[in-house]
Amino acid sequence: MSSTPNRRALTLAASLIVAACAAAGAAAAQANVPEQGTSPAAGTHHETSTELANAFDAVNRNTAWQQTSKLKLNFPTYHTEGIAYSQDHIFLSAVQILEPTAKYPTPQGGYDRTPGKGIGHLFVMDKAGNLQKDITLGEGDMYHPGGIDFDGTNVWVPVAQYRPDSSAIIYKVDAQTLDVHKQFEVKDHFGGIVLDKQTGHLVGNTWGSRRFAEWDLQGKQLSTWENPNYFIDYQDCQYVPNAKMLCAGVTNLPQTPSAGGTAATYELGGMAMIDLKSHEVTREVPFQQWSTAGHVATRNPFKMTADGNHLSMTVAPDNGEEGNGTEILTYEADVTPAK
C-alpha cells in the first residue's frame, strides 16, 4: 500500500477540521454573550479606557480648576441629587418636598424622624438643558432619588425614604427608550449607586455613605462593608475602569463661635476614588469652589471625564428655588500624572 494519502482520506480529514473549527467558534461566541437580563456593559470585555483613573490620581489641593461654562435650567428642579450623561441626554435626579420630615423626640419603630412626603423626579434633557421628559419614580414613603450612574445602556437610580435605616427601590431606566424597570427593593436608605462593569454587580452607599453594599442584578446582597473615611459624605458617584468608583460630596462643619457656631455651618466639599476590590479610598482631595447660591460645588450632582491629562467636571449644586436656580457648572483642569 502506498504511504501517500488518497483523495477520499484527505476529504474526510478536511471535513473534520472544518467541523472542529466551527464548534470552537460557536463556543467562543457563546462565551461572549452576556447573561440574560444583564446589560452588555456588564461584561469584562466592555471595559474602557483607564484615562480617568490615571488622571484623577494626579489631582491634588493645588490643581488649578477653572469654571468654563454655566448652563441654567429653565424648569422647576427642586432639590437636585444626581447627574448622568448618555450620548443623547442629560439625566438629573431631584426630590420635590411636599412635607418635610420631622425628628422624633425619641426613635419610633426604628426611625429617628417622620417619613415626610414628596415626589421623586428623573429629569431627561437634551444636551442644551431643555427638558424632554419628567419621569416620576418612587412608591409610598420612598420618594427620594439619590446619586445616579449611566452604564452605557441604562441609568441606575436609587429612590429611598428620606430618613436613615429605612428602605429603597433600585430602578433601571433605558437611556434610549426611557422605559423604567423596577429592579428590586432593599432594606436601608441607599442614596447612591453604580454598576461595576467588571462584575456586572451594583454597588450602593447608605445614608451619609457610612456603609456600602454590593448586589447582583436580582437584588441578592453579596457583600457589605463600612466606609473607613469620614472626610465627606458621598452624594453622587460613577463607575471608573477598572473596578473603581469616583464619588463627590459634602459635609457640614460648625463655624467658630464668632461666626455663628453650630447654627452657621460651613460646607466642605471633596472627591474620592474608591477601589471596588479592596474597598479602600485610593485618592481623596478637597474641592472648594462655590455656586451662585453659595454652596460648595460638589454638594450633590457630580460627574467627571478625562481626555488624556485634561479633566472636566460637571456639577449642579443649587436647588431650583435658590440663587439663580439650578445651574450645571463645568470645571476643567490639566494635571500631570506621575511617571
The gap from C-alpha 65 to its chain's centroid, in whole angstroms, comes to 22
Task: Write down the pLDDT at residue 7.
Answer: 42
Task: Write down the pLDDT at residue 12.
Answer: 40
Given a cut of 70, the residues of the chain with pLDDT beneath it are 1-48, 339
Where do the domains of the chain lie?
50-334
CA distance 141 to 160: 8
Task: Write down the pLDDT at residue 20.
Answer: 41
Q: DSSP state, 324?
A: T
CA distance 303 to 266: 23
CA distance 43 to 63: 34
Tens of pLDDT, residue by residue over 205-221, are: 999 999 999 999 999 99
The pLDDT mean for the chain works out to 88
The CATH architecture to which 50-334 belongs is 6 Propeller (2.120)
Q: Using CA atoms of 150, 156, 160, 163 in order, give the dihedral in degrees to the nearest 10.
A: -30
DSSP string of 14-79, one letter each residue: HHHHHHHHHHHHHHHHHHTSPPTTS-GGGSGGG----HHHHHHTT--TT---EEEEEEE--S---E
Task: Write down the pLDDT at residue 48.
Answer: 63
State the residue for C-alpha cell 511617571: 339
